[in-house]
Chains A and B, each alone.
Chain A
Amino acid sequence: MNSKTITRPVIRTKSLTKIYNGKGIPVKAIDNVDLEIKKGEFTALVGPSGSGKTTLLNMIGGLDQPTSGQVFIDEQDIYKLNNNEIIDFRLNNIGFVFQHFNLLPVLTAKENVEFVMLLQKKSKNERNKIVEWLFEEVGLTEKLNVRPNKLSGGQQQRVAVARAIASRPQFVLADEPTANLDSQSAADLLDLMTKLNKEENMTFIFSTHDQRVIDRARRIITLVDGKIYSDILQNTIKAY
């Protein structure tokens, strides 16, 4: 890997703005945000409620159309893609971890993880190999054929992480991933994601209030009123 590849941002936003028209009064959820996130970063988006963390995450994930500005993933302006193209782009490039896990209750843990690869039309052999590797990584090999309702919150979230990375995305977006977990489960989940980040060079971006997540992050971006208030990288505060 050459140095150019390492430093190239996987995510870049340019003058990103989102305005909601709540009760006829325009509210700026994201205000002119310029941001770059490089491959392999372990980033936490923090800030008070209503600061725009989830909105920024959704726009980076191609889920929420910005009012103005652009989002580039690997230098592809994702909002120039049509509806189906953007969904396909998400499928192949972005992994999602939700606060409430959002596993399909009728499918087993294995099927939940496999589902995303079915959408990618991967062969059964390939799917089985990836599932085996993923469940080993998340430490749930014995829970392959268990339905989500038989799993603890922490286990469900680990399955959700496995699902998020099953498609081999360029990065994983996690919206408050530890919000519904007890301390031990949250610590286990963070261990898992840290390991995947270090060993697989996987890029993670979290929105979080959780100090435990913030403590583990190597880059902390603080949002206030939709603007980047601070961007701390390895104990270095970058002022805006």
Chain B
Amino acid sequence: MIGSANKSQGTRILGIVPSEEYELTKINDLIADGRPLKDTDKNKIVIGQSLVKKLKLKLRSKVVLTFADANHEIISGAFKVVGIFQSYNSNIEDKICYVIKKDLNELLSIGNNSHQLAILLYNNDDLNSLSQQLKQTYYENQTETWEEISPELSMMVNSMDQYMVIFLIIILLALCFGIINTMLMSVLERIKEIGMLMSIGMNKTKVFILIMIETILIIGLAIPFGVLLAFLTISYFNTYGLDLTNMANETFREMGFQTIIYPTLSYTYYLRIIFIVAIVSFLASLYPAYTAIRLNPVEAIRKN
């Protein structure tokens, strides 16, 4: 429980090692007033903005934290507010406050013990294998993945992945029709030319290769341009963020999401997209090339 001179409220008190915590939660980036906690602080506290309003606090105000220690005895400690954070997640802002782990452990009389250890992976694909490994090795402790802690978030991420696949299919279909349309127009506009080429001795294989080479040249120009455009767009929003505050501020906050999105796209994703686009474009050009080789030179030459 956290109490001010005016009011008290239930809360979660997290004892952190600031330098390590900031690597993971970036809570230091959310400080709206004051400063984040430092490793060297003593009896200092950082609390959320909405809690500040409820308890009518300000910077340098004193608060009293009351809780049960390891022996189930009620103990209290006084802390000074050094920082106020504003979170994109209203639940965190209201229900969590941060103190130095060492201060909390002293009050709890639990030495240097920790209750929670967070592991941040470079690659989410390693999540399940590592979790299984930890569960087997440290079976007396509880190991949970972020998906188990927040299944609704996991479901949302999975749904987004599926949406992405659907979007990708729609975009690739549009690309497919675009290529077919472009190349078909290119063939139909040059029926007479192609008819003449076939008349003077250009065989069907060469006509087919000609259309395919033209498509490859178009793709060869379009892909680098498209990738560069995507890279620049993503880099811009990665730096300056895509602000959705006006669209869904409260909804996002309640769900624990930031309203400013900083998109990233891995290089492997770029490569995968380039490969898929190249294959789809290649397949899409088969039909126009097939149309070209089916032309009858006599009829083609007569076309106006």
B204 pairs with A84, CB closer than 8 A? yes
Chain B window 196-210, contacts with chain A (Cβ cutoff 8 Å), 1 for yes, 0 for no? 101111111110000
B:163-211 near A, CB below 8 Å: 192-193, 196, 198-206
B298 pairs with A90, CB closer than 8 A? no
A102-B196 Cα distance, complex, nearest whole Å: 7
A9-B298 Cα distance, complex, nearest whole Å: 25
Q: Which of B192, B196, B201 is close to A88, meaning CB atoms less than 8 Å apart?
A: B201
Q: Please, which residues of chain B bring their CB within 8 A of the CB of A102?
A: 192-193, 196, 301
B297 CB–A CB distance under 8 Å? yes
A63 pairs with B298, CB closer than 8 A? yes
A:76-122 near B, CB below 8 Å: 83-84, 87-88, 90-92, 95-96, 98, 100, 102, 104, 116, 119-120
What residue in chain A is nearest B202 (Cβ atoms)? Answer: A119
Of A61, A64, A102, chain B has the most CB atoms within 10 Å of the CB of A102
Q: Which of B193, B200, B205, B301 is close to A90, meaning CB atoms less than 8 Å apart?
A: B200
What residue in chain A is nearest B193 (Cβ atoms)? Answer: A104
With contacts A58-B298, A104-B193 taken as known, whether A96 is within 8 angstroms of B205 at the C-beta atoms is no
A53 CB–B CB distance under 8 Å? no
Q: Please, which residues of chain A bring their CB within 8 A of the CB of B202?
A: 87, 91, 119
Tally of contact residues, B, Cβ under 8 A: 15
A70 CB–B CB distance under 8 Å? no
A34-B204 Cα distance, complex, nearest whole Å: 31
Q: A57 CB to closest chain B CB, in angstroms? A: 10
B203 pairs with A116, CB closer than 8 A? no
Q: Please, which residues of chain A bring their CB within 8 A of the CB of B204?
A: 83-84, 87
Q: A49 CB to closest chain B CB, in angstroms? A: 14
Interface of B is mostly: helix
What residue in chain A is nearest B297 (Cβ atoms)? Answer: A63
A127 CB–B CB distance under 8 Å? no
A87 pairs with B201, CB closer than 8 A? yes
Q: A173 CB to closest chain B CB, in angstroms? A: 10
Q: B11 CB to closest chain A CB, in angstroms? A: 76
Q: Which of A88, A90, A100, A104 is close to B199, meaning CB atoms less than 8 Å apart?
A: A90
Chain A window 162-183, contacts with chain B (Cβ cutoff 8 Å), 1 for yes, 0 for no? 0110010000000000000000
A96-B196 Cα distance, complex, nearest whole Å: 9
Q: B93 CB to closest chain A CB, in angstroms? A: 66
B200 pairs with A163, CB closer than 8 A? yes
A92 pairs with B201, CB closer than 8 A? yes
Q: B90 CB to closest chain A CB, in angstroms? A: 64
Q: Please, which residues of chain A bring their CB within 8 A of the CB of B203?
A: 84, 87-88
A91 pairs with B193, CB closer than 8 A? no
What residue in chain A is nearest B196 (Cβ atoms)? Answer: A102
Q: Please, which residues of chain A bring their CB within 8 A of the CB of B193?
A: 102, 104
Q: Please, which residues of chain A bring their CB within 8 A of the CB of B201?
A: 87-88, 90-92, 116, 119-120, 167
Given A90-B199, A119-B202, 17 more A-B residue pairs with CB atoms under 8 Å apart are A64-B298, A87-B201, A87-B202, A87-B203, A87-B204, A88-B201, A90-B201, A91-B201, A92-B201, A96-B200, A98-B196, A102-B193, A104-B193, A104-B196, A116-B201, A119-B201, A164-B200
| 12 A–B pairs (Cβ distance < 8 Å), ordered by A | A61-B199, A63-B297, A87-B201, A95-B200, A96-B199, A96-B200, A98-B196, A102-B196, A102-B301, A104-B193, A116-B200, A119-B206
Q: Across chains A and B, which 8 residue pairs bring their CB atoms closest together, nearest first?
A: A91-B201, A102-B196, A87-B203, A84-B203, A90-B201, A63-B298, A64-B298, A58-B298
